[in-house]
Copies of this chain bind each other. A is one copy, B any other.
Amino acid sequence: MESRCENCIIRQFNSLRAMSKEELKQVSDSKTTKILKKGESLFEEGDKLNGVYCVRNGVSKLSKLSANGKDQIVKLASKGEVIGQRSVIAQENTNLSAIAVSDMEVCFIPKETITHTLQKNPNFTLEVLRHMAHDLKEADDVIVNISQKTVKQRIAEAILYLKNNFGEDKDGFLALTLSREDISNVVGTATESAIRIISEFKKKGLIHTSGKKIGIKDEKKLQDMVEGF
């Protein structure tokens, strides 16, 4: 099974591209590959992480449990993204759980390899920093969206987000199928509210559905809805 990091295309999308040949070799020698089925967890909130996970395939939700027992999904991480960086860098237990929302293949890289490179290779550190700066901006946007947009707007936005980030299958459905509950947890609303609004979108002809699958029929109107028209 042994693919070498040096040859892995995935790393072009993340901060590992700033590593030297030598460093990549070290990563490759210390990494382990892991297969996860949908629903399995990479780690749970509060866990101490011994390394980071580089996603080769599939999608993971990063979520946090709130006092009232509901999960809030903070980010969906897919191919090329590195999960767990924040906790390893801040040397804290993780504040999020990571659960596969589709079958996944990930590489585990021990934290020593990462921290060692962080101390030796300023380009790598800077690259990680840039990624984190980007994540922070996205988080700020999410805060503004959640507090200023209606649930309807946020659901429309989530549907467009899923299309733009994960694409559509041959039948015109979103390639990443989330349960209604997951959608409500992305958006930060009650599951029933999400379901109701999705039904409404369907009645209005903005989307079509089949089981839990959703397909976009009128992208422009969905976009208008996001902007508040």
Does A7 interact with chain B (Cβ within 8 Å)? no
Residue total for A at the interface (Cβ-Cβ under 8 A): 44
Stretch from A120-128, A168-176, A203-211 at the B interface: A120-128
A interface SS class: helix
A residues 61-106 touching B (CB-CB < 8 Å): 64, 66-68, 70, 72, 74, 85-86, 89-90, 92, 95-96
Which residue of B89, B140, B148 contacts A67 across the interface (Cβ within 8 Å)?
Answer: B148
Does A144 interact with chain B (Cβ within 8 Å)? yes
In the complex where A86-B137, A90-B134, A133-B90 touch, is A74 in contact with B122 (Cβ < 8 A)? no
Q: Are the C-beta atoms of B143 and A142 separated by less than 8 Å?
A: yes
Does A35 interact with chain B (Cβ within 8 Å)? no
**What residues of B have a CB within 8 angstroms of the CB of A92 in the complex?**
137
**What residues of B have a CB within 8 angstroms of the CB of A95 in the complex?**
137, 140-141
CA distance A128 to B136 in the complex (A): 13
Does A118 interact with chain B (Cβ within 8 Å)? yes
Does A130 interact with chain B (Cβ within 8 Å)? yes
A94 to B: closest C-beta gap in Å: 9
A61 to B: closest C-beta gap in Å: 13
In the complex where A125-B129, A129-B129, A133-B90 touch, is A148 in contact with B74 (Cβ < 8 A)? no
**What residues of B have a CB within 8 angstroms of the CB of A72 in the complex?**
143-144, 147-148
Return 7 A-B CB contacts under 8 Å, by A number: A66-B144, A68-B148, A122-B125, A132-B132, A132-B136, A139-B140, A148-B188
Q: B-contacting residues of A (Cβ < 8 Å)?
A: 64, 66-68, 70, 72, 74, 85-86, 89-90, 92, 95-96, 118-122, 125-126, 128-130, 132-137, 139-144, 146-149, 188-189, 227-228
Contacts beyond the supplied A64-B141, A95-B140, A118-B122: 13 A-B pairs with Cβ under 8 Å:
A64-B140, A67-B227, A72-B148, A74-B143, A90-B137, A118-B129, A121-B122, A122-B125, A125-B125, A128-B129, A139-B139, A143-B146, A146-B147
